Amino acid sequence: MYVKEIRISSFGTITDFVAVPSRGLNVISGPNESGKTSIAMFIKFMLYGMPATRGPAAIERKKYVNWKTGEASGALTVVTDSGEEYRIERTLADVSRGGKGSYKETVTVVREPGGVPVSFSGSVGEYLLGVPENVFVNTAFVRQATGVKPESEPISRSVENMVTAADDKVNVKKALGELDRARVALLHKNKTGGMIKELEEERFRLREKVESDKSNSDETVRVEAALDETGKKLASAEENAKYFDELLSSLKVISDKRKLDAVAKTASDIEKTKKQLEKEKESAPDGDFDSTVGMCERNFDALAQARENYNSIPDPENEDDEEDEFGSDPFEDVRRSERLRSKAKSRTAAGIVFLVIAMLVAAGAIVLKYVMRMDLWLYVALGAAAAAIISVLFFAFGARSRSDLNSIIEEWGAPSVDELAETVRLRDQIRSDNRELRQKKEKARSDLAAATAAAEESREKLSEIATKLSIAFSDGTEDREVLESVKNTVSDKRSIVSRLESEHAAQTGRLVALREQTADVDPAETVKEVRRILATDAGKKAASMNQEEVREAARKRDFCRGSVIELKKKETELDRRLAELRATAKSPAKAAEKLEKLDLLIEDLKRRHDAYVTAYEALSLAGDNLRSGVLPQVREYASDMMREISNGKYRGLSISPSMDLYFTDGESGTKEAELLSSGTEDAAYLSLRLALIKTLFSGEKEEYPPVVFDESFARFDENRLSAAVALLSSGSFGLQSFLCTCREEEEKRAETAGANIIKL
């Protein structure tokens, strides 16, 4: 069989790829990660699919299902050696729910021309090639990861099955094992166990019973009555167990339906919670809220502190400015008073002096006039008058100075001129203190105004936030009350958002868990089954049960099952005992008839045992005889291939039944493959694979497969590489082959040999 066309829709990293290979050697060339291995795996995928198992096969599914399209799909057109053309279409789609990695695989095979559908059982590869996947993989499909050496166990088993049964799918070892187990079941080799031994012992006991003529009719009647009663109880227990089984089975289906309903409700709740969360987030303040509230709180604190500072400063005793009243230097009045007092004293003293002079001169004038009767008294009198006038003037000037002094004292409110200086000092200190107090008061007033402005701005911002939060306040509400109300409202909103987020996360987790629990539940089938169940008494009862009733039903079911087991045991014992009693109660003729039937059964089983032994020996002997004829044929094919690949250096290969290889080079004798170079070992196992293809694919189908090599010649030297490429390209090889490589040397040698080059 050869591949006529490769058409990949999506497989691994490859999409929309079409190639028309030749019937000989095809080289798929490209750098690493370009998709060579994907093309090789695509050919196997088309023939055998990807089984739904765990381990490497599951990894292959994830690897080759294209992550964009969600599937691995394409078509492969092949032509059999008899000339029939088939088109294989296969799709592996990821239909998983909840991330479980579930896949659905569909395959269609049509015969061309005409597109006639082909029906078959098993895999496409088995239908077309006649061999299972493990034979194909270990012969015609050389993977990069596994190397050239095939797995010995499946190949050895296939060869052995073929040489002993002419069919690689028949497991001869298993058949031999079944024959041996059947023989042992009848009679062990040492004759210590088996059905025959047990029947012989039973026959011995029966003979003893036949010899015994003791009758126990009363016990027989009692056992029969007990057996009848036990049968009734058993029927009742089975009926009850059946009812509870049906009840709990109905409950399971109803529970699945409730879980499906819970999935829908939880999804709806999630959507509602999400909308409510979005609404709450929209009405919640933005990220600057905390800083804004903090600023408002600080401004209100600053206002309270500024108001307290302002109120703590007392008002000045005299709010008027005293600079004009006292002048710039109030102590000038003290110095002036001292001068005025000095002037008053000196002027008064001068007035007294001139007054005394006037009095003395007047006295002289009187003496001159009346005593001395001299005319000079008039001039002296004039002098006295002049002195008196001067004295009056001095007294007047002194009085004026004292008046000015009294005005100063009066003005300052001093008790006396001596206390004027202290009074002025005290008044000046008071004025200085008032000036400082007024400055502090003015500074406090300015700070209060600034704090009031900042607080007013904070009130406006708080009002905006309150409006956004739909908080209404009456006029005159305290700033602190507004602030605390806003903070509490935001705290409540954040608590609501946090609660909704937690609720959303919990609902999402619950939805995931519910979907995992219902991943394998068919909703439509479940709804249909629930409708059917609810029409039954058990279904109606199950639908109304609470958890305690469910646990009670499970306990009753287990009790009924246990009762059934115990009653069956009792029934069996009673049956056995009744059989014993009836055996003793029957006539010797009836017992002898039963004993005769037992003898015939034992003889029949012995003949069957002898037949199993004969068949086992014959099948083993046939395998030994035929193996000696087929293994040399495989060895001859492999030796021919090895001579060509090694350019005649190794003339022969020896193959053990477990598919281990030994070399013969004509010089150093026979060597194990593992002792030689890695390139020689690869060449040998390549020869073995090609020989096995000639042997294992020459059965009833006589259909040879295309051979796939994925980076399989990496360890070949130049001579072996040239020989291997020449062999695969030659007409004598006669099989289509695909060589996936990133090495330019392999591509050039293949191109020289006339291979078809497919570049990626």
Higher pLDDT, 187 or 676: 187
For residue 501, pLDDT over 60 is answered with yes
Residue 374 has a CB neighbour count (10 Å cut-off) of 14
**How far is it, in rounded angstroms, from Cα 471 to Cα 463?**
9
Whether the pTM exceeds 0.75: the reply is: no
| Cβ proximity of 539 and 255 under 8 Å | no
Residue 56 is predicted with a pLDDT of: 60
Which of 331-335, 522-526, 625-629 tops mean pLDDT?
Answer: 522-526
Residue the block writes with tokens 């709740």: 269
For residue 214, pLDDT over 70 is answered with no
Residue the block writes with tokens 């055998």: 48
State yes or no: cis peptide before 113, omega within 30 of 0: yes
Residue 166 is predicted with a pLDDT of: 39
Burial (0-12, 13-18, 19+ Cβ within 10 Å), 586: middle
**pLDDT, mean of residues 609-628:** 61
Q: Please, which pLDDT band fits residue 612 given cuts at 50, 70 and 90?
A: low
**pLDDT, mean of residues 649-659:** 69
Write the secondary structure of 625-671 as one string of H (helix), E (strand) and C (coil). HHHHHHHHHHHHHHHHHHHHHCCCCCCEEEECCCCCEEEECCCCCEE
Q: Provide the residue type at 549 as one letter.
A: E
Q: Please, which pLDDT band fits residue 324 given cuts at 50, 70 and 90?
A: very low
Q: Give 757's strand partners.
A: 27
User: Which of 38-52, 175-189, 293-307, 620-634 bottoms out in mean pLDDT, i.e. has the lowest?
Assistant: 620-634
Higher pLDDT, 30 or 200: 30
